[in-house]
Every structure is written in C-alpha cells, then in structure tokens.
Structure 1
Amino acid sequence: MPDWNLVGKQHVLAAIAECDRLGSRDFLQRYRFGRARASTVWHRGQEYDSKAILGVAYLHATGRAATADDFTRGEAGAVDLLQGLGFDVVVDEEALAAEKAPRVRKTTATKPARASRSAPAAKPRRTTAKSDERVKVCPTCYMALPATGICDNCD
C-alpha cells in the first residue's frame, strides 16, 4: 500500500515532464496504465491521465512506481491527491460515479459436460504479478531507465 504523503508537487511535475518527453501513449505503455476515464490533470494547456501521472510521481518520490492496483479509491483518490497538491484536475462526474458503482458480471450459459470422456485437470500456471516488477530509476534525474540500464537523459 503506497504512502501517498511522500508525493510532492515536484514529483508530479517530474512525472509530467517525463510524459511530455515520452509522449502520452509510450508513457502509459511503459508504466502499464490505461487512459483516464473520469479525470485529467491540466498543466500549461496540456491534459494528462491523472492516475498515471500520480503513479509515476510516486516513482519519483520513492523509487517504486505505483501500479493501477495501488489506487484503492480509483480515480477519485487520484483527483483528491492532485488537487491537494494544487493541480487543476477536470472531472467528469458521471464517469466518476460509474467507476464507483459495482460492476455486474455477465454470466453465460454453460454447455453440459460430455459424459463419455472427461478432460484432464489443467495444471495451475505460475505467473509473476506485474506489480512485483521494479522499475529501475536513474539516480541523477530519477527518470525510468530503459532496458539498456543507461539513462537517455544523463548519458
């Protein structure tokens, strides 16, 4: 569970600068965030995805990026944190209310099992959680390092 009190305005500004440098699409892909559905941060005439910016700001503050699963209050929590730091956040209230509503899972009718032969039980697959992966950070500029391990900014 992240300690969001560690994130300051300078960390959010660093995340915004990184998003500007990478472009929104690459920024979201690098840190495994989706597009914001209900809120965007406006800074100097540009809009940014609220949860992604806050998640990468957490990286700049602590050295570990927050994942989408770390936002226990969803976009509403990100909005509160960013507004508390003095950022202009535009919120679509209807979309935010829809995010808070519990999602109903559709059920589908299942086919009856064949009586003649039963399939062998599938072996459980072992996977690593994406949140366990650590993003390596440049100790000089605190930007995420590419796979080469050499900072593109500092060289």
Structure 2
Amino acid sequence: MATFSGVTRQHVLQAIAEYDSRGRDGFLGVYGYAPTPGYAIVHEGSSYDLPAVLGVAHRFATGRLAPSDEVVGSIGSAASILRKRGFEVTEPGGASAPAARSSSRTATRAPRTTTPRASTPRRTATPEPAPAICPTCSMTLPATGVCDYCT
C-alpha cells in the first residue's frame, strides 16, 4: 500500500502544474485514473481530482505511481496529509476544509495581518582617522605626538 508521508508540497505543486499543462482529460488519460467525484484539491481557485494529483505527486516523490485504488483506499489520511501541506481539500457533498495550521497554539489565534514594518536607519561605519605620521622617518607617531625614533 502506498504511503504519502514522503509527498511534499513541491511534489503536489509539480503534479498540479502537469495537470494544468495537459488538461484534466489528458492528465487522467496519461496516468490511467478515472474521474473521481467527491474529494478534490482546490489550489488558486481551481479544483483538481485528488486521487490523480496525489498519485502523480507520489510518483514525483518515490518514482512509483500510486494506483488509483490505493489512493482511494486511504483517501481520508491522504486528505489529512494534503491539508498539512497547506492545501484546501473538498470532501464529498461540497464541504470544504481549509489547510490545517501547524500547531494547535496558532489555531486558536486570530489570523495575523501583515503590516509593513518601519525601517530603522542603519548606522554607517565611521572611518577611523588616519594616524599621525612623523614627517622625518614616516613612522606612526605615538599618542604623545613625539616620534620615538627621531628624538
């Protein structure tokens, strides 16, 4: 049985990109998947057949295409993994479950709004003053200002 824990967000995005380039019927036909009503991945306003996208994402992750019956057999855990990867998954009956938060602590907070931070001015390094040089021997003068070699 296929496990989908090795499938990353990038693998799913690769599968979605191929789905977009081939079109639904072409994508399903190339990989031998049948249209599956019910579970779907929603990404950037488009809906994708969950078993087909996840099966192809599994291929990108492991080199082996996950058969449709394996994906459908573990659809609940597959949907959970996709939510953890940040995808929205619709369930049968049109219900939509948003992507899960990474921890329970952040799930209770209100959504964060991003506001631009005020930039703090950077301190520029001030160049060190050039050391005083003895006009006779060209040595650096000590703090007294009197050359130790020439006196």
TM-score tier (shorter): 0.5 to 0.7
Structure 1 position 71 matched with structure 2 position 77: no
CA RMSD of the aligned region, Å? 2.0
TM-score (norm. length: structure 1): 0.56
Kept after mapping to 2: 8 A contact 1:71/1:77: no
Give the AA of the match of 2:49: D
Compute the displacement of 1:90 (Å).
1.2
Percent of paired sites with the same residue: 37
TM-score (norm. length: structure 2): 0.57
Kept after mapping to 2: 8 A contact 1:38/1:75: no
Compute the displacement of 1:48 (Å).
0.1
Q: Which residue of 2 aligns with 1:9?
A: 9
Q: Which residue of 2 aligns with 1:88?
A: 88
- Quote the Cα distance in structure 2 between the aligned partners of 1:6 and 1:51: 16
User: Which region of structure 1 is more displaced relative to structure 2, 17-26 or 69-78?
Assistant: 69-78
**Structure 1 runs (4+) greater than 6 angstroms displaced:** none
Other structure's SS at 1:47 match: strand
| Structure number with bigger Rg | 2
Segments of structure 1 that go 5 or more residues without pairing to the other structure are 95-155
Residues paired across the two proteins, number: 95
Q: Which residue of 2 aligns with 1:25?
A: 25
Deviations for 1:42-98, whole angstroms, at most 9, x for unmatched residues?
Answer: 11111100111000000111111111122263433332221121101111249xxxx
- Quote the Cα distance in structure 1 between the aligned partners of 2:76 and 2:8: 18
Segments of structure 2 that go 5 or more residues without pairing to the other structure are 95-151
